[in-house]
Amino acid sequence: MNITKILLSIIIGVVICGTTTTTNATTMCVTDDNTSIILDPSKNGTASTSDSATNSWTVTFNFGTVSGIATCNSTGGAYAKAYPQYNFDNNYASSTGEYCWCKMTSPVRSAWVYVDRSSVSNCTPNCASHCINEVRYNSTVRDSVFGSAGR
């Protein structure tokens, strides 16, 4: 990456992120080489898609698009709680538990967040759609996903 691109990324981040104020402590600004967005857990998503074949999901918000992965695991957790210590595999073939977990992968990685329990046979084909519903419509889950960004 050249110095011009680095400086441009910093300037974009300061302009977009530095001029936004909020009273929500978990609202955060994230930047990468190409974009800066404010992750605001108080805002519901406007559109979403999921793919059970790849355990992936995407939710579009007014502030930008958030993508992630889902997995089913034999380890459960507390609903809507982030667990930065977990490093689950999201491979469909190895996704054999009954506990559904969601993780944001873009624009930044989050910790795994526990969202649902179902039967082993129902978890894998439905976990990614659980993630989009929880991330799109549930501010408690968004707070944990967005609040654990970078972990």
Q: pLDDT tens digits for the chain (151 residues)?
A: 454 443 334 344 443 344 333 334 355 676 556 667 789 999 999 999 999 888 999 999 999 999 999 999 999 999 999 999 998 866 555 567 899 999 999 999 999 999 999 898 899 889 999 999 999 999 999 999 999 988 6
At 26 the pLDDT is 53
Query: Which two three-digit tokens encode residue 30?
Result: 């994230």
Residue 97 lies in a domain: yes
Residue 137 lies in a domain: yes
> From CA 50, how far away is CA 79, in angstroms rounded?
21
Residue 24 lies in a domain: no
- Length in residues, the chain: 151
Residue 52 lies in a domain: yes
Residue 29 lies in a domain: no
The pair phi, psi for residue 72, each rounded to 5°, is -110, 135
Element (H, E) at 133: helix 120-137
- Total number of domains constituting the chain: 1
DSSP code per residue over 73-115: ES----TT-EETT------GGG--SSEEEEEEEESS---EEEE
Q: CA distances (Å), 40 to each of 23, 121, 148, 149, 150, in order?
A: 11, 34, 13, 12, 15
Q: Which domain holds residue 119?
A: 41-147
